[in-house]
Amino acid sequence: MRIGELARRGGTTTRALRYYESLGLLPARRGANGQREYDEDDLRLVHEIRSLTGIGFALEDTRPFVQCLRDGHTTGDACAASVEVYRRKLAELDDCITRLDAVRDQVRAQLREAEQRSKPCGR
Amino acid sequence: MRIGELARRGGTTTRALRYYESLGLLPARRGANGQREYDEDDLRLVHEIRSLTGIGFALEDTRPFVQCLRDGHTTGDACAASVEVYRRKLAELDDCITRLDAVRDQVRAQLREAEQRSKPCGR
DNA sequence: ACTTGTGTTGACGTCGACGTCAAGTCGGAG
DNA sequence: CTCCGACTTGACGTCGACGTCAACACAAGT
């Protein structure tokens, strides 16, 4: 299939696919006319990339997963490098959530205080 | 005081202060020589901006707080517009945390599954 | 007077993941 | 043959909060 179909079926755009190729993430074979030619395996790679970036993974973080699939594994996370990314991301998420929780509490407290001051009168 | 001192005492850089000025967030008086001249009140504004951006507020979100201080209030959140920003931010934080929690659980599950597959043998 | 430090404006660079536009080529329908 | 849609490469735009550099003026210490 050509790039337009791959984009449609992969839930993305041709621009994104060319961008992935420019990063070496999604290399493409070329037909006699110079147009990019893709197959079902490529569609799997696109799905892997999209599902990972969809939950907040950076494109570079998807690289091990994509490589893993290209190496013939049935899932992108069957390789050690991918699992390592999982671990790192999990740690990042924990950190992030912890910080956001703290900020939320802080903002909540400030909000309560500000509302308190604005209605100092009884009732 | 001049811009360098304000930057030092405000815990930021001269570049940032000029940037704030370009946004109309921190207007500056000028001395006879054309140099920016600041006072202690300006330092308060800088502290307000930094403490808010420090916890993740966008610069534009700090505008009501800064305006509030310039209007003579003792705190930046003494005005309705500021409190409104608090409320909006709190909602954003709740949303964000909820989503991140879901993602974390998802990644955790994937990680467990991947580790499971890599060590299918007992023990 | 000289040097060093601090100030000024203006403009381009950064990061990530593409969007958008331009100008041209290719494929199939009518 | 013509036309439209899909394809090609290349290059600039976007967003936010500044960093960095250039080239110059001003201030203060010895």
Q: What gap in Å lies between CA A8 and CA B98, rounded to an integer?
A: 30
What SS3 state is found at A18?
helix
Q: What gap in Å lies between CA B37 and CA B41, rounded to an integer?
A: 12
Asked whether strand C has any atom less than 7 Å from the CB of A86, the reply is no
What SS3 state is found at B29?
strand
pLDDT in tens, B37-61: 999 999 999 999 999 999 999 999 9
Mean pLDDT of chain B: 94
Nearest to A114 among B56, B86, B115 (CB): B86
Q: How far is CA B24 from CA A94, B19, B20, B42, B88, in A?
A: 37, 9, 6, 13, 23
Encode burial over A70-99: b for 16+ CB neighbours within 10 A, e otherwise: eeeeeebbbbeebbebbeebbeebeebbee
Beta bridge pairs of residue A36: A30
Q: What gap in Å lies between CA B61 and CA A38, rounded to an integer?
A: 46
Burial group, residue B33, by CB count within 10 angstroms (0-12, 13-18, 19+): exposed
- CA–C1' gap, A81 and C3, in angstroms: 56
Q: Which are the contacts of B21, defined by CB distance < 8 A and separation ≥ 6?
A: B27, B28, B36
Partner-chain contact B87 A56, CB within 8 Å? no
Burial group, residue A14, by CB count within 10 angstroms (0-12, 13-18, 19+): middle
Q: What gap in Å lies between CA B19 and CA A42, rounded to an integer?
A: 46
Helix H or strand E encompassing B74? none
pLDDT in tens, B68-106: 999 999 999 999 999 999 999 999 999 999 999 999 999
Residues in A lying within 8 Å of B, measured between beta carbons: 55-56, 75, 77-78, 80, 82-83, 86-87, 89-90, 93-94, 96-97, 100-101, 103-104, 106-108, 110-111, 113-115, 117-118
Determine the longest span between alpha carbons in chain A, in angstroms. 82
pLDDT per residue of chain A (123 residues) written in tens, 0 to 9: 999 999 999 999 999 999 999 999 999 999 988 999 999 999 999 999 999 999 999 999 999 999 999 999 999 999 999 999 999 999 999 999 999 999 999 999 999 999 888 777 755
pLDDT confidence tier of residue B118, bands split at 50, 70 and 90: confident
B18-33 mean pLDDT: 95
Q: What gap in Å lies between CA A84 and CA B81, rounded to an integer?
A: 45
Q: What gap in Å lies between CA A25 and CA A66, rounded to an integer?
A: 7
- CA–C1' gap, A16 and C11, in angstroms: 31
Spatial contact of B92 and B101, defined as CB atoms under 8 Å apart: no
Footprint of strand D on the protein (CB under 7 A): A 2-5, 7, 14, 18, 28, 34-36; B 12-13, 15-16, 19, 33-35, 53, 58-60
Q: B80-118 and B59-70 helices cross at what angle (nearest 10)?
A: 150
